[in-house]
Amino acid sequence: MKVGPQAVPHVEVPRTFRILTLESSCDETAAAVVTDSLEVLGSVVASQNDLHGRFGGVVPEIASRAHVERILPVIDETLRAARMTLDEIDAVAVVHTPGLAGSLLVGLVAAKTLCVARKIPLIAIDHLQAHVYACRLAAGEDVFPCIGLIASGGHTNLYRCRTPLEFDLLGATIDDAAGEAFDKVASMLGLPYPGGPAIEKAAAEGDPRAYALPRALLNNKDRFDFSFSGLKTAVRYRLVGPGKPDFAQLKLSHRQVADLAASFQEAVVDCLVGKAFLCLRKTGLATLCVGGGVAANRRLRERLEAQAEMEGVRLHIAPPKLCTDNAVMGAIAVERFKVGQFAPLELDALPGVIR
């Protein structure tokens, strides 16, 4: 089939509409049906944690194969939950950036196929912008302009979000993402995958001051970037020296695990809170939206709430179910539909972050 710029259909924007949103950027296969008034009619998330757990992280090839198997059943189940058929869908929106190339492509092919078959428009979603939009959904009111902090397994970014359609990247991790550091440190401590919830649980019984760990770039007031690989290495050196140790052979006491988990978590939280509020002060914005899997962390939420109260900042943190990957946050596509921003059928997967 020939596709080209003319593939963007001209669509009269109806007063009411329903969008099927798809998410397959990493290891969750998800779909949702959302309306023009941001009502969620159905939502399904199929997690792949069981497939990646034994590897201590997401294996891209396994992830894309699992998406292939799950995407159609997930769409079917979502439509069933929404009590509707494809004929009643006005557009399909899909995450095309950032993420694992193979994973993104599965969602893209599914979305394009439905659009061609049904002759309805395609809408492009940026996964990280969608994570910010989860806060808009949870708030039930406009949150723009705001600073957006997204901390997930693959990204740790700070945005100036001017409107739901205009995001400027202000800072990002220069090495590991915060969630990735949680996952790697959990694996060193013999805790299960995903590491974030496991570290949070272990940390609840630990002393966050037990181990002095680095907070890279935190004191640099001219940069909004993060760095977590040194912190990860510092935890490693508290456990073993250089070389290729077998962490499974380590005999760590319950107290050691709890104290290291608490000290590590506090260091990550210090960096996330410190840089987010630095952005707020430097830009003069007074609203902070926080999302991504790491935003499910209770210690981070507590510290953000305390700081927001101290500085008079309006804080919106997505509820834990909307922090980890889901397709409901793809409701950001409603904003694009309203202004007629549709994507051509040659829309490609962009694994890297759009700057």
Residues that bind ligand KG4 (CB under 6 A): 26, 152-154, 179-180, 182-183, 194-197, 200, 292-294, 296-297, 324-325
> What are the residue ranges of helices labelled H in the chain?
49-52, 60-81, 101-118, 127-139, 178-188, 195-203, 229-239, 254-283, 298-311, 320-323, 332-338
Residue 296: CB minimum distance to ligand KG4, A: 4
Q: Would you say 202 or 313 has its CB closer to ligand KG4? A: 202
Residue 194 binding result from Zn ion, ligand KG4, none, given CB thresholds of 5 to 8 Å by partner type:
ligand KG4
Residue 176 binding result from ligand KG4, Zn ion, none, given CB thresholds of 5 to 8 Å by partner type:
none
* Phi, psi at 97, each rounded to 5°: -165, 155
Token pair recorded at residue 311: 């500085």
Q: Would you say 152 or 173 has its CB closer to Zn ion? A: 152
Contacts of 333 (CB under 8 A, 6+ apart): 19, 21, 34, 91, 93, 123, 125
Which of 325, 329, 331, 345 binds Zn ion (CB under 5 A)? It is 325
Q: Report d(CA 116, CA 103) in Å as an integer.
A: 21
Token pair recorded at residue 321: 């179910």
Chain CA centroid to CA 38, Å: 19
Residue 201: CB minimum distance to ligand KG4, A: 9
Three-state DSSP class for 34?
strand
Q: Should residue 183 be labelled a site residue for Zn ion when binding is judged by CB under 5 A?
A: no
From the list 3, 2, 1, the residue with the least C-alpha distance to 345 is 3
Residue 224 binding result from Zn ion, ligand KG4, none, given CB thresholds of 5 to 8 Å by partner type:
none
Residue 325: CB minimum distance to Zn ion, A: 4
Q: How many residues bind Zn ion (CB under 5 A)?
A: 2
Q: Report d(CA 186, CA 29) in Å as an integer.
A: 24
Q: Would you say 164 or 197 has its CB closer to ligand KG4? A: 197
Residue 185: CB minimum distance to ligand KG4, A: 10
Residue 45: CB minimum distance to Zn ion, A: 12
Q: Should residue 180 be labelled a site residue for Zn ion when binding is judged by CB under 5 A?
A: no
Which residues within the stretch 113-152 sit at the binding site for Zn ion (CB under 5 A)? 152
Q: Would you say 152 or 173 has its CB closer to ligand KG4? A: 152
Q: Would you say 183 or 325 has its CB closer to Zn ion? A: 325
Side chain identity at residue 117, one-letter code: A
